[in-house]
Amino acid sequence: MQLRILFFLLFSAVVAGCSAEADSTAAAPQSAQPVDVAQVLYTRFSPEYTFTTRLESPQQIELRPRVSGVIESIEFTEGSVVQEGDVLFRIDPRPFDAEVRRLEAELSRARSALHQAQSEAQRARRLQGRNAMSEEQAESRISLAHQRQAELASVGAALEAARLNLEFTEVRAPITATASNAFITAGNNVQAGQSVLTRLVATDRLYAYFDVDERTWNSAFSQVDTSGQTQARLQLVGNSTESYSGHVDFIDNQINNQTGTLRVRAAFDSTSPNLRPGAFARITLTASDAQPRIMVPDRAVGSDLKNRFVLIINAENVLEYRKVELGDRAGALRVIESGLNPRDRIAVNGPARVGPGMPVTPRDVQIESQGLTLLQTGEALEPSA
C-alpha cells in the first residue's frame, strides 16, 4: 500500500514538471529568423522559344564524271577543303586525245573538199554564163559545194565535242567545299553521269530549317521578317556552353494545312569546324514583342501538393503564402504570370528553412537583373495579383 502511494506521488511530480516546462515554452516569444529579402523584378521580357533541327548545307553535290573511262589518279586529300576548279580525279585521256586528233584530220580533209567544191561551183557559174555548161551540171556542182560546207560544220561540231570530252577527263570541283572520301579508286572504270566519285558539301554557310506552330508564330513572331534583324541562337547537342549566332533569312509563303506549322530557316556563317551538315541542333528565337513581366529567382519558388507558391514579407515582417502561376524561365530567373505585383517583397531563397506565418528579420538584397531593363511600377499596366 505504501509503495502504491509513493509511486502515485512520483508520477504526479513528473507530470507537473512537464506541464510547467510546456507552459514556459509556450509563453516564450518566438525568435525572428534573419532572411534575405528583395523586391521582385519588374521588367520588359521577351520569351525565348527553342526548336530542334538538323543543319543543312545550301550546296551539296554528288560528283559524277561526264565521260566514261578508267580512273587514272586521285588528285585531292580526302576530307580536305577543295577550291572551285581544282582537279580531283583524272580519267585516262588517251582514247579521247586520239579521237580529237582523228577529228582534227577529218576537219582538215573537209576543208580541202570544201575548197575544191567551191572552186568547181565558181567555174560552173562562169561556164554557165557563157552557155558552155548546162544548168543541171552547174546546179549539181553548186549543191556539192553546199554539202561540203555542211560536212565541214558537222566535223567541226564533232571536234568541239571531242575536245570537251578530253577536257572532262579532268574531273574538277564545281564549288569550294569540303570533300568526302573517294568512293571509287584509281584503276576502276566509271560511267558518265552514273558513277559517284565523291561528295562535296559547302560548309562556309549552314541552314537550319524548323517548323513553328501557327499559334506561336502569330503570338510571338508576327513582326519577324527576313531582313536579317531577327537573331537566332544555335546550340549543338551535348554542348550547352557554346552557342553560335545567326539570323532568320527565309519564311515560307504558306502554312502547312496538314500540320498547322510554318517553315522557317535560320542561316549561320560557319566559323567553327564543329558546325557540320547533318548535326542535330537547337535553335532559339526571342519573341518580337516584349511585355511587362514580374520575375523572381527560380529558387524563390516553392511547391506543395497542389500549387507553386512564393513567400512574401508583409508590413509586420511576417512571411505570407502567395500562390503563383509560372511562366518562362530565363537563366536563374522565372517569369510570374499571376500572383504577385511589382511592389511585393519576397524571401529570395525560398521556403527551404522558413514557412508561412513565421516572423523574420529582413536582410535587404537585390536580385541580379541579368542585363534586363527594369521598369517603374507605373510605367505599364501591372499584372493582376
Residues 301 and 349 in one domain: yes
Lowest mean pLDDT among 12-16, 120-124, 157-161, 240-244: 12-16
Q: Give the tens place of pLDDT for each residue, 250-291.
A: 999 999 999 999 999 999 988 778 889 999 999 998 887 667
Residues 274 and 307 in one domain: no
Q: Give the tens place of pLDDT for each residue, 47-76.
A: 788 999 999 999 999 999 999 999 999 999
Residues 308 and 278 in one domain: no
Structural domain total, the chain: 3
Q: Give the tens place of pLDDT for each residue, 143-166.
A: 888 888 898 899 999 999 999 999
Q: Give the tens place of pLDDT for each residue, 337-355.
A: 888 988 889 988 888 788 8
Q: Which residue has the cell 559545194?
A: 145
Residues 272 and 319 in one domain: no
Q: What grid cell was written down for 148?
A: 561540203
Residues 156 and 107 in one domain: yes
Calpha distance 235→52 (Å, rounded): 10
Q: 282: burial class by Cβ within 10 Å (0-12, 13-18, 19+)?
A: middle
Residue 298 lies in a domain: yes
Mean pLDDT in residue range 116-141: 77
Residue 379: per-residue pLDDT: 52
Residue 286: per-residue pLDDT: 84
Residue 143 lies in a domain: yes
Q: Tell me the pairing of strands 69-74 and 189-190.
A: antiparallel
Neighbours of 224 (CB within 10 A): 17
Q: Give the tens place of pLDDT for each residue, 212-233.
A: 999 989 888 888 888 878 889 9
Residue 230 lies in a domain: yes
Q: Tell me the pairing of strands 360-364 and 87-91.
A: unpaired
Residue 14: per-residue pLDDT: 44
Q: Which residue has the higher pLDDT, 363 or 142?
A: 363
Residue 263 lies in a domain: yes
Nearest to 76 by CA among 167, 190, 177, 165: 177
Q: Which residue has the higher pLDDT, 240 or 214?
A: 214
Nearest to 44 by CA among 329, 341, 376: 376
Residues 271 and 309 in one domain: no
Neighbouring residues of 276: CB distance < 8 A, sequence distance ≥ 6 = 55, 203
Residue 20: per-residue pLDDT: 44
Q: Is there a contact between 267 and 17 (Cβ–Cβ < 8 Å)?
A: no
Q: Is the pLDDT of residue 246 over 70?
A: yes
Residue 346 lies in a domain: yes
CATH of the domain at 323: 2.40.420.20
Q: Is the pLDDT of residue 5 over 60?
A: no
Nearest to 311 by CA among 275, 357, 279, 278: 357
Q: Is there a contact between 244 and 272 (Cβ–Cβ < 8 Å)?
A: yes
Which of helix, strand or coil describes residue 202?
Answer: coil
Q: Give 378's pLDDT tier (boundaries 50, 70, 90).
A: low
Residue 384 lies in a domain: no
Q: Which residue has the higher pLDDT, 192 or 19?
A: 192
Domain housing 280? 49-59+202-286
Residue 368: per-residue pLDDT: 83
Q: Is the pLDDT of residue 26 over 70?
A: no
Residue 208 lies in a domain: yes
- For residue 173, the one-letter residue type is A
Alpha carbon of residue 142 to chain centroid: 69
CATH of the domain at 230: 2.40.30.170
- For residue 213, the one-letter residue type is D
Q: Which residues lie across from 33 on neighbouring strands?
A: 360
Residue 135: per-residue pLDDT: 74
- Percent of the chain at pLDDT above 70? 87
CATH of the domain at 131: 1.10.287
The DSSP annotation for 189-214 comes to EE-TTT---EEEE--SEEEEEEEEEH
Q: Which residue has the cell 570537251?
A: 164
Residue 377: per-residue pLDDT: 61
Nearest to 93 by CA among 119, 67, 132, 126: 67
- For residue 338, the one-letter residue type is S
Measure the CA angle with vertex 162, ends 157 and 166; round to 5°. Answer: 150
Q: Is the pLDDT of residue 21 over 50?
A: no
Q: Give the tens place of pLDDT for each residue, 303-341.
A: 888 889 999 998 888 998 999 998 878 778 888 888 898
Residues 137 and 151 in one domain: yes
